[in-house]
Amino acid sequence: MIVPRTPSFRLDGQRALVTGAGRGIGMAAAGALAEAGAHVTLVARTADDVASAAAAIGHGAHADVLDVSDIGAVEAYFATRPAFHVLVNNAGTNRPMPLWEVSEADYDAVLDLNVKAAYFVAQAAVRAMLRDKVGGSLIHMGSQMGHVGGARRSLYCASKWAIEGMNKAFAIDLASHGIRSNTIAPTFIETPMTRPFFEDPAFRDNVLARIKLGRLGKVEDLMGAIVFLASEAAALITGTSLVVDGGWTAE
């Protein structure tokens, strides 16, 4: 009798790139991939942040400055480097406010980074993969707010629901090329971006009441999911969303 062997979660020999990697979820994603053996490149707009993050991670992690909202710079970046096997499309922002207060500038700030930049980063990464005949894994950082609605979250929900649809279409386009595309959809994770929200006790209490496991998320809660989706252990998983929400969307 032949006993099946568990596919490897290791990423040795793989090249991985993480956007928005200077802090928070992006830095954690880069650390997880590096620990699993990948050669990781961290990119962000702020040189000091991304360099410090790469140094802290070690494992040969490399830092580059790249503004992912500059489509020309993104195209040039991927066109002049060997293809990456793993992309974590993480850069994003949020401007919580009621629908009636949203300005065109607010709309552009959130949708341009969360959707437009993510789309064209993925496109540039895929073009390099096709050029170099490299298969791999695209991982887009979505949100539980790409599966439900939320008060004061119309812009963020619009962007994260868009990511979910984009991801499914990517998966269909890319399957024949050996490239998988998935999202990770976290609940509220304590990061430098979200920490100010929790200074409001009413908001914090409301969030904790909705997370059935009774606590806020930590970046560590996402690290295993990122390695899983990047690895051969997820070889038949594409076009879907791994929801890491402590039960928020179960109701």
CA distance 200 to 214: 17
- Give the DSSP H or E segment for 42: strand 39-44
The three state secondary structure string of 176-213 is HHCEEEEEEEECCECCCCCHHHHHCHHHHHHHHHHCCC
Q: Which of 24, 61, 63, 26 is nearest to 43 (CA)?
A: 63
- Ramachandran angles phi, psi of 125, nearest 5°: -65, -45
- The Cα 62–Cα 43 span in angstroms is 9
Query: Residue 211, class by beta-carbon neighbours within 10 Å (0-12 exposed, 13-18 middle, 19+ buried)?
Result: middle
CA dihedral sign, ordered 100, 90, 198, 209: positive
Torsion of the alpha carbons at 10, 233, 30 and 179, rounded to the nearest 10: 110
Indicate the Cα dihedral angle 193, 154, 187, 211, nearest 10°: 120
Instruction: Give the active site residues.
Output: 156
Measured CA to CA in angstroms, residue 80 lies from 73, 128, 248 at distances of 11, 9, 42
